[in-house]
Amino acid sequence: MILKSVIHYPGTNSVEATWVDADDKQVRCHSYADVQMDMLRTDLGGDAAMYADLIALVEASIKPPIPEIPIPAIQQIAQLESATLLPRVTREFMLTSFAAQAAAASLDPMTSPAYAKLKALDDQIAVLRKSI
């Protein structure tokens, strides 16, 4: 394999390397993200020294991840409730109804996928309410 080209894409802070065979047919092409410069060095082998400045530039441009801004509990509750389209009173009615039907049939209500999903949502909202 012969290294044909190494291209830096500043807009994405990545590098693309292309290798060809003796007939100039492409045999490998790989795009390396900015955090994969060690992999690029390894793949370049003896040619890595020629691209040391380019690799250093890419590594210097790595931006740390943007930390998530925590959403207040009240907003999380609103998002969860709006995503289900079920107000609290409807959820409570459905949970009580499922539980009563299961008890009458001597079944565990958690065997119902609908009940389990609704119960998990209700438990998640209850935890958020306690944090307010």
- Let me know if residue 39 belongs to a domain: yes
- Let me know if residue 66 belongs to a domain: no
What range does the domain containing 101 cover?
A: 73-131
Q: Kindly state whether residues 20 and 43 are assigned to the same domain.
A: yes
Q: How far apart are CA 77 and CA 123, in angstroms?
A: 11
**What pLDDT was estimated at residue 84?**
67
Strand partners, 18: 5, 29
Q: Kindly state whether residues 112 and 85 are assigned to the same domain.
A: yes
- Let me know if residue 68 belongs to a domain: no
Percent pLDDT > 70 in the chain is: 97
Q: Quick: pLDDT tens for 59-101.
A: 998 888 788 877 888 888 777 777 666 677 777 888 888 888 8
Q: Quick: pLDDT tens for 119-128.
A: 888 888 888 8
Number of domains the chain is built from: 2
The CA-based angle 116-117-121, given to 5 degrees, is 115
Q: Kindly state whether residues 94 and 126 are assigned to the same domain.
A: yes
- pTM: predicted TM-score of the whole model, two decimal places: 0.49
2's CB contacts (< 8 A; 6+ apart) are 19, 20, 21, 22
Please answer whether residues 95 and 77 qualify as being in contact, where contact means their C-beta atoms are separated by less than 8 angstroms.
no
- Let me know if residue 51 belongs to a domain: yes
Q: Is the dihedral of CA 116, 117, 118, 121 positive or negative?
A: positive
Q: Kindly state whether residues 51 and 6 are assigned to the same domain.
A: yes
Quick one: DSSP state of residue 110?
G
Query: In the predicted model, is pLDDT for residue 39 greater than 90?
Result: yes
Query: 27, 60, 93: which is the final residue of a domain?
Result: 60
